[in-house]
Chain A
Amino acid sequence: MSRLSVKTRDFIIKTYGPNALFDVTKEIEMFIKDIEASTGIIVVNVMGSTGALVLLNPAAIEKVKSEELWNLVPVNANWKHEGNAYAHLRSTVLRTSLTIPVREGKLTLGNNRVFFIENQCSMARERHFYLTYIGK
């Protein structure tokens, strides 16, 4: 059995929000190509406790933005934590990490893309991502 290797990369994107989705699939694909990955898994993490990482079909984005995120955790529900409790709760429920298999050098995404959800009310916020590849 050939040995596995661990390879990493970090990158930053600038976001705005709330309720904005950012497609980070290209950054992940570029990493896989650069390290000449063939078979393994990639773990995508985003730092922070107010964003979220999701796998979504791009056709669903508009409904997610306009309805579903508001339904998941309402912004105004007399939360104790002032200002952005909803962003923290969305982040915890949706999570900030995704693990995706890589087969023959490609991400196995089906019709989906990897999206970062910016829940914070902000402009030009930097979000830090960390990629870990384990495989051949």
Chain B
Amino acid sequence: MPSRILHRELKVRTCGHGDAIDITPLIEGELKGIKNGLVNIYTPEERIALITIEYEPRILDDLRRYIKEYLKICENLVPAILGRSLDIPLVNGRLRLGTWQQVVLLELGTSSREVSVYVTIICEDP
């Protein structure tokens, strides 16, 4: 099946250092009408990481502690280590993730701000 490429830009507001936002519904909301394909989610923003994780308060606290204690020797590299882009299949209009797996934007900077997330979809022609 031949393919086409679509793109979207999301604006996400963070609430300062350590804020973790589940952006899975936002992304799926932007993909309405598209059934199958591959979704690349990327941010060029400084001090932002895009990760998959179970969106659960204690796990998110454990991740914050892991970054603070285990990655403290390389603070500027944290977004590079955790990653700033993800490739996730889109199947029947939903991101193909595990039940307890969400796409999470992690604020590693200090203050509240609005950040851009670029979503690129390679999908089958309708």
> Which residues of A line the B interface, CB within 8 A?
3-8, 43, 45, 47-49, 73, 79-82, 85, 88-89, 91-93, 95-97, 99, 128, 130, 132, 134
Q: How far does the Cβ of B91 sit from chain A's closest Cβ, in whole Å?
A: 7
A88 nearest in chain B by CB position: B59
Contact A81 B88 (CB under 8 A): no
Contacts of A49 in B (CB 8 A): 52-54, 98, 100-101
Q: Which of B66, B87, B124 contacts A73 (CB 8 A)?
A: B66
Interface residues of B, dominant DSSP? mixed
Docked Cα-Cα span, A106 to B33, in Å, equals 34
Instruction: Produce 1/0 per residue, B13-55, CB < 8 A to A.
Output: 0000000000000000000000011100000000000011110
Count: A-B pairs, CB below 8 Å: 96
Contacts of A88 in B (CB 8 A): 53-54, 59, 62-63
Indicate the size class of the contact surface on chain B: 35 or more
Docked Cα-Cα span, A95 to B122, in Å, equals 21
Contacts of B62 in A (CB 8 A): 79-81, 85, 88-89
Contact B1 A93 (CB under 8 A): no
Docked Cα-Cα span, A74 to B63, in Å, equals 13
B1 nearest in chain A by CB position: A5
